[in-house]
Every structure is written in C-alpha cells, then in structure tokens.
Amino acid sequence: MSVSHSILEWWNRIVMRLEQPDIEFASIVLWVVWQNRNDVVWNGRGKFATSIFQSAIQMLSLFKTTSLSAASHQQPPQLIHNSIWMPPRENFLKCNTDVAVVEGYFSPTIAEAIGVREALSWMKTKGFSRVFVESYAKVVIDALNSGELADSSSLGLVLHDCIILSKDFRYCNFAFAYRSTNQAAYA
C-alpha cells in the first residue's frame, strides 16, 4: 500500500473504489466534518461523531429530496443552481455572509454590507486571491455588482469600501443567495 501525497490523491483512490451513492455520502460526511472543525476552531464547540454522522444522513436526504424534486419539475439548471448551495471551484474561496442586528445600532442592510466588507478584509489579510462572496442581502449584492456607488450615505461608504477591497483580488464575485440556501453562513 503506497502513501498518498495529497488529499486529492487520497480522494481519487476512494472514488475509484466506491459506487455513486457511497461517493455522495462520503462527500457529505467530509463536508460535515469540515463544518464541525470550523465550529471547534471558531466557536470552541464541536459535535460528537454520532451527531456528525446523523447530520450527514439528514443532509444527504435533503440533497436527494431537493434533487428529485427539481428534476421532476424540470426546472432550468440555473434555478436549481440558485436553490442549492454549491462549493466553490478549485483554488477559489467562497464566503457566505449573514449578520445579526442589535436594534438601534445599524439597519439590517448596512449591517449586511459591513459583514461583506469584513469578510473581504479577512480574505485579503489571509492572502486569498480568488473569492466568491454570497449573501441573501439582495440590495447589497445588486449595489456591489452595479458598481455605481456615488451615494455618500453610511451604506454608500461601506459599499465603496467593499468595491475598493474587491479590486485587491485577482478574482472577486458577489452573488445573491436565497436565505434558505445560505446555510453555509451558519457553519
């Protein structure tokens, strides 16, 4: 038995030995393990293995139900893509944002824009060069994609910061994600 030199080699060996349903389940288990790792690192709490396994089973069931439902309704592929969270392409980082607002400090829209700005700042600090930012704050995403930010309001200034930060990346994309599919923001 030879030693794998990368996670990609390891994964390719596993994929070659498994059937499609097992590959799907293994993929989801790995994703849930990664979510748990992030919860331990960022929040100081994690789940037991049985809970991780149970979460993976529930996600796979939801994925299959959603996929079958989408296929039975014969929706165009772009609608299916917008209704299911998708991982980023290889060598890209995807950041899903969501914020909680304490009443009286910021409007939800400004808070969402600040969340995007802080995510961009963090990704820049960490040295990422190809990034996707997803948010369910459609007003924020539409404004960032339009590039027309002549507004000097609090929101306009935060959005301007986001545009300036986005230019520091080799590739930066802002996309709207329905709140129901933006679950990665809670991972």
Can you spell out the DSSP letters for 47-105?
Answer: --HHHHHHHHHHHHHHHHHHHHHHHHTT--HHHHHHHS--PPPTT-EEEEE-----TTT
Q: Quick check: is 165 in a domain? A: yes
Decide: helix, strand or coil at residue 134: strand
Cα 46 to Cα 36, 43, 136, 185: the distances in Å are 6, 8, 26, 17
79 and 143 part of one domain:
no
Give the strands of the sheet with 93-97, arranged side by side: 93-97, 130-135, 171-176
Domain boundary, last residue among 56, 83, 110: 83
More confident of the two residues 174 and 89: 174
Percentages (nearest 5) of helix, strand, coil residues in the chain: 60, 10, 30
What pLDDT, on the 0 to 100 scale, is given for residue 25? 80
71 and 97 part of one domain:
no
Q: Is the pTM of this model over 0.85?
A: no
Mean pLDDT of 130-144: 89
Q: Quick check: is 64 in a domain? A: yes
Q: What's the rounded Cα separation, in Å, for the pair 158 and 143?
A: 11
More confident of the two residues 94 and 98: 94
Q: Quick check: is 43 in a domain? A: yes
Residue 118: domain span: 93-186
What percent of the chain is modeled with pLDDT above 70? 75
Q: Quick check: is 1 in a domain? A: no
Mean pLDDT of 133-141: 88
Domain boundary, last residue among 29, 63, 83: 83
Mean pLDDT of 3-21: 74
Q: Are 56 and 32 in contact (CB under 8 A)?
A: yes
Q: Quick check: is 67 in a domain? A: yes
47 and 117 part of one domain:
no
How many domains does the chain contain in total? 2
Q: Quick check: is 2 in a domain? A: no
Supply the DSSP symbol for 143.
H
99 and 159 part of one domain:
yes
- Give yes or no for residue 3 having a pLDDT over 60: no
Q: Quick check: is 77 in a domain? A: yes
70 and 99 part of one domain:
no
Q: Are 137 and 99 in contact (CB under 8 A)?
A: no
Domain boundary, last residue among 83, 106, 139: 83
69 and 107 part of one domain:
no
* CATH number for 147: 3.30.420.10
